[in-house]
Amino acid sequence: MACKGSRDDLIGEKLLIDMVTSKVKYVTDKVKAILPALPESPLISKGQDQMLVQQLSEIIKVYGDNIDQDKEFNDIIDDLAKVADTSSFLKLVKKVFTDDQITWGRIIVLFYSVGKLSAKMVLIHTHSVVSALLNASLDYFRKHLLEWIWKKGGWMSSIPALACFSIGIFSGSIKSKL
């Protein structure tokens, strides 16, 4: 089993924390709100890992731009933000990843979704839940996704697979889980 503090764990944590931080910071700057307390992003010391994080961050942004065009996805995020409940979000996440339905694309979309939902919560003044949502998502990542990532060869092996992932297929699978 992959362990906390491993290379793949640190890369995943950095991607998730940085996604949430950038989305929330953008919103707080825009509406002049207070930035909620968030965990610090881990430092990545190896140059190769820094480049991988940068590439994966760009992939998440590209997927995010595509996802933002999906009305059903945005409706789901809006509904979850109104509930402002970490357990409701995690129930949906568990449904999406049931039956060994873990894929690189789903992991990337999950990271983007946590960022988007966190930003939406700040906008509707439920920012006190943002830190809890991020911490719960990090726990889910470590307990349920990290070992899969490790078995697939780590984050480095994700790049070719992500080139073939279809956002439309993922969006439809979320709707079918609701």
pLDDT of residue 123: 87
The pTM for the full model equals: 0.84
**Token pair in block for residue 75:** 């409706």
Rg (C-alpha) for the chain, rounded Å, is 15
Task: Give the torsion sign (CA, 83, 59, 62, 104).
Answer: negative
Res 119 pLDDT > 60:
yes
pLDDT of residue 129: 87
CB atoms within 10 A of CB 126: 18
Q: At 11, which amino acid appears? A: I
CB 108 within 8 A of CB 65: no
Distance CA 131, CA 77 (A): 17
pLDDT of residue 167: 52
Res 100 pLDDT > 80:
no
Mean pLDDT of 61-68: 88
pLDDT of residue 178: 44
Q: How confident is the model at residue 91 (pLDDT cuts 50, 70, 90)?
A: confident
List, in order of start, the domains of the chain with CATH numbers.
7-30+47-177 (1.10.437.10)
Distance CA 87, CA 92 (A): 9
Q: At 102, which amino acid appears? A: I
Query: Of 157, 177, 17, 156, which is closest to residue 97 (Cα–Cα)?
Result: 177
